[in-house]
Structure 1
Amino acid sequence: MAVNKERFYELLDRLSDKDLELVSELMERLANIPVNREIPLDDEPTTQDELDAIKDAHEAYLRGELISLKDVEHELRN
């Protein structure tokens, strides 16, 4: 999705001061990341502990034990 600067400024005007702080931190991080960055491949083998954690998380998902995005946003903003 292409966003022009005019739309971006419209969205910024709608944010609270607290939201602007969060967005500003993200923008600072993004502005300091080289455009042609390469993320190294994770070539370490998956451990049994990691496999167990994945299985536990999947089972929790199937049981409906989730944290909604709305709850995460609320936690970050307050």
Structure 2
Amino acid sequence: MHEIKYRYVEFNEQILQDWIENGVKYVKMLEVEVRGPYEAFELVPNSEMPETGDMIHSIHSEEIADLLIRMEKIKFLVHEVYLEEME
């Protein structure tokens, strides 16, 4: 995994698969302030139905699958606390 400062890793296929296997149903996206020439979003897993919002998606949605495609100016990050919970 490619580690970003402040205990974040880039979202990848392994994280997605772990979340699915551990019963995560929804993923919330939160914009993160970062230095540098790119935008970043933190992905937060939820196993229950979240409140409605534009940045909340089913883990099985095309929007979440599209996050696995690397983009030069946008990073999708997962804080390692959400990885530790899944182990």
TM-score bin (small chain): under 0.3
Higher relative contact order by CA 8 Å / sep ≥ 6: 1 or 2?
1
Higher-helix-fraction structure: 1
Under a length normalisation based on structure 2, what TM-score does the superposition of the two structures give? 0.20
TM-score, normalised via structure 1 length: 0.21
Larger Rg: 1
More strand by share: 2
